[in-house]
């Protein structure tokens, strides 16, 4: 997978994460089956890239990590709201 393909995969994954977060915040549970594997593949491919290419995708990787953290928080809050 080249840098362009990886960037495209990361952008699609980021879009999915953002969409999932929006649904959870709206009170809808989402199926995240396979997201962990998808993110794992992205990380493995990024680590295998030449340093210059890896540096180029670093901002997008940081964005994806931040989006995952927000999704995690939204899921935690959703779970807590269900207990009320």
Given a cut of 80, whether residue 84 has pLDDT beyond it is: no
The residue extents of the domains of the chain are: 3-83
Q: Residue 81's pLDDT is what?
A: 85
Sign of the C-alpha dihedral, residues 76, 82, 83, 84?
A: positive
Q: Residue 16's pLDDT is what?
A: 98
Residue 2 CA to residue 50 CA, distance in Å, equals: 10
What are the pLDDT digits (tens) for 52-73? 999 999 999 999 999 999 999 9
Residue 50 CA to residue 1 CA, distance in Å, equals: 12
Q: Residue 82's pLDDT is what?
A: 84
Give me the half-sphere count of Cα atoms (radius 13 Å) on the Cβ side of residue 20.
Answer: 21
């Amino acid at each position: 997978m080249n840098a362009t393909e990886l960037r495209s995969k990361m952008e699609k994954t980021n879009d999915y994460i953002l969409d999932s977060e929006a649904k959870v915040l709206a009170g809808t549970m989402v199926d995240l089956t396979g997201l962990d594997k998808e993110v794992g593949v992205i990380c493995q491919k990024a680590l295998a890239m030449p340093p210059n290419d890896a540096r180029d995708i670093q901002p997008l990787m940081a964005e994806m990590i931040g989006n995952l953290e927000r999704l995690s928080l939204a899921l935690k809050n959703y779970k807590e709201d269900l207990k009320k």
